[in-house]
Chains A and B, each alone.
Chain A
Amino acid sequence: MRRLFLIAVPYLWLLALFLVPFAIVLRISFSDIALAIPPYTPTLDTSEGVWAGIRDLVSQFDFENYEFLTGDDLYWKAYLSSLQIAALSTFFTLLVGFPIAYGMARAPQEWRATLMMLIILPFWTSFLIRVYAWIGILGTEGYLNQLLLSLGLIDAALTILNTQIAVYIGIVYTYLPFMVLPIYAALERMDESLLEAAEDLGCSRTSAFWLVTVPLAKNGVIAGCFLVFIPALGEFVIPSLLGGSDTLMIGKVLWEEFFSNRDWPVASTVAVILLLILIIPIILFQRNEQRLREEEDA
C-alpha cells in the first residue's frame, strides 16, 4: 500500500504536468489558428461521447502547420542556424574548457577542491545575470572597446554586441562548467604513470598527450559536448539579449511566434520539430552514459 503511494504520487504528478501538457502541444500543432481565446480551434469535443470525440479529433488532424513550416524559408534557416551556432559554440567551449580541466586535473592535490568550487560557483549564480554582464562588456561603448581603444589596438569601436560573435561568447561563457566538469572527472581518474611509460618508451610529450591523454579523456569530452550542445540548441536568453535581429535561433522564433504573433499552432509545431531534432543527440548521450556506467562496473 505504502509502496503504491510512493510510486503513484510522483508518477501522477509527472503524467499530469509533463506528459499531458506535451500531448496538448502535439494536438495543437495539428490544429488551425483561430481568432479566439484560446487562439486555436477547439481540441477534444466529447459532446457525442468520448470515442466519437477522439475519432473526430483524428480525422481533423491536418498537417497544414508542418507544410507551412517546411515551405517557409525562415524556419529552415532558423533550425539550420541553431544547429550551426550550437555546434560551433560547443567546439569553442571545448577549446576553452579542455585546458582548464587539464590544468585542474594536474594541479596540486590540495588545490583541487578549491578549483572545483571556483568552477561550480558561477553555475549557481543567476544565468540571466551572467549573460547580462556581457552586454556592458561587448557594447560599442563597452569595457572591451574602451580597453582596446585606450591601448591603441583598434582605431574605431568594434561592433560585437548584437552579432553572432556575441552569441558564441555568451554560450561558451555560460556553459563552460558543463564542459569542464566531465573532462576533469575523466582526466583526474587517469593514471599518470601511463604518461611516464609512454615517454620512457620514446614518445615525445606532445605525442604522449595525443596518444595517451586524449583517448583517456574521450568519454569526458563526449559527455561535455552533449551537455553543451543539447541546451544550446534550444537557447532563448542568450540570442535575445546578445544576438542581433539577424541571429536566428529556434528558441527565439518559438517565443516570438507565441508571444508576439500569438500563433499558438505554429509555435507548437516549431516545438514538436525542435524536439524531433533533439531526440537524436539525446539518445546518443544516453547511450554514451550507459556505456560509461557499464565500463565502470566491469
Chain B
Amino acid sequence: MFNYTFHWRPAFQALPHMLSGAVVTLQIAILSMIIGVAIGVLLALMSGSGNKIFRGIASTWIEIARNTPALFQIYMAYFGLGQFGIHLDSFVALLAGIAFNNAGYLAETFRGGLRVVPATQVRAARSLGLGSVSAFRLIVLPQMFRAVFYPMTNQMVWAILMTSLGVVVGLNTDLTGVTQELNVKTFRTFEYFALAAVLYYLIAKAVTLGARAFAYRLFRY
C-alpha cells in the first residue's frame, strides 16, 4: 500500500539553492510590508477624512483587498494589467498583488489603532504646552504603534506565505518557485515541498518570535 521510497539526499543537497529562494521570498514580503504600511496609513487617514472621494477610494480598496482571493489580486496585477498594455514581470506583479492585499488589511488595523488613543490624551498633552504635532508624535503615535504592532506582525507572516502564489505568475526565484523547478526536474514532490514547508515554518516562526522579543523590549508598560 505504501511503495514510495523517500530520497532525502537530493533534497538536502538542494538546500543552498532553496535558501537563496527563501531570501527572495523574504525580500518580497518585506518590500510588500513597507509599501503596504505606507499605503495602509494613507488609506486609514483617507477613510477618516471628510472628503467623499477619498473615503470612496479607501473603502473600495479595503473592500476588494479583504473580500477577494489574494490569488486573483496577483492575477490582476500580472494578466489584468497586461490587458491594458502594462506588462509587469513576475516579481513586480507578485509584489504589487501582495502590497495591495497588505494595504487593505493594514488600513483597517491602523484605523482601529487611531481610535485606541482617547482624545483626552491629546488634551492633556496640549494643556502642558505641547504643540499639536508634538502631541501627536510623543503621545498618540507611540500608543497607536503598540496597538497595531501584533496585527502588523500577523500581516507580515501572511505576506511571507502569500509569496508562494508567485508560482502562478511564473516566478521561479522565490522559495516556492525554486522548489517547483526542482520538483519538475526530479518528481520528488514530497521531499522538496516538505523541506520548503519546513523553511516557511521556520521563517514565519522567526518573525513571530523576533517580533515578540522586540515588543518585550519596546512595550514595557
Do the two chains belong together in a single complex?
no
**B interface residue numbers (CB < 8 A to A):** none
